[in-house]
Amino acid sequence: MTAKPFALNPTYVPGHNLLDGRTVVVTAGAGAGIGAAVVRRALDEGARAVVIGDTHERRLKEAQEELGTEFGADRVRTLVSDVTKDADIEALLDAADEFGGVDVMINNAGLGGTANILDMTDEQWDKVIAISLTGTFKSIRAAGTRMRERGGVIVNNASVVGWRAQEGQAHYAAAKAGVMALTRCAALDLAPYGIRVNAVSPSLAMHAFLAKVTSDELLDELTGREAFNRAAEPWEVANVMVFLASDYSSYMTGEVVSVSSQRA
């Protein structure tokens, strides 16, 4: 039988030390999904240490145990952290200082949900904006302040819905479009300090939590929009985030890179 092309049947790519010796901070990095995938990818790529923030204490404990066993407990640090709270973000960066200071900040924290705009409450709108957009702003500001004397890289997680309309996603789409604009403007503000700021814009990355909160009908519809007729693996998005964090993208800043196979 002829093997399927890689794009249809991807295999996890071994690390090539793209982040050798660097200290990486990842928000919303415990459990499943893109955040957890980029934590593992960073460790595979030789990061000196990864500091993981998340609001879920149990998932953090599990991540600490699993990753510590696999990669070494001295390379993994976890903290309960809420990106809407400045003190929590500073605590993550203080933890990075224990490993020589933050070199890479990956702002993965975000919140979605589905609601028709006529039924959407102020509380639903405010919570999504607070976590997905304002939390990213707070994290950029805090990390940029720490990186001002040393340089560094910031990678944000946006979404294709920031470009393309999707029913019931007004709050999430507005937040992610904001992340894209924030990325471009922050890149110009921080360029004089040797800090690069870029973002990824994934379409559909399948993981257990998404499957739990999304109907099979909607998942089928979203998958049908993809040229490869499948969702991305979270590590496929993480690969691009690590590329943006590495020296391979040294001339890129203010860019939003689509990680998608959606049909034009």
| Separation between Cα atoms, residue 128 and residue 91, nearest integer Å | 23
**Residues 116, 261, 227, 220: is their CA dihedral positive or negative?**
negative
Would you state the structure tokens that stand for residue 20, as one six-digit string?
């050798």
Q: Which residues are catalytic?
A: 172
Which residues, other chains included, contact 118 with Cβ-Cβ below 8 Å and sequence gap of 6+? none
Q: Which amino acid is at 34?
A: I
The CA distance from 81 to 86, in Å, is: 10
Residue among 211, 201, 206 at smallest CA distance from 178: 201
Coil, strand or helix at 19? coil
DSSP, residue by residue, 94-112: HHHHTTTS-SEEEE-----
Query: How wide is the angle at C-alpha 77 spanned by C-alphas 200 and 37, nearest 5°?
Result: 30
Q: Is the dihedral of CA 145, 150, 151, 157 positive or negative?
A: negative
How close are the terminal C-alpha atoms of the chain, in Å?
A: 31
203 DSSP 8-state letter = S
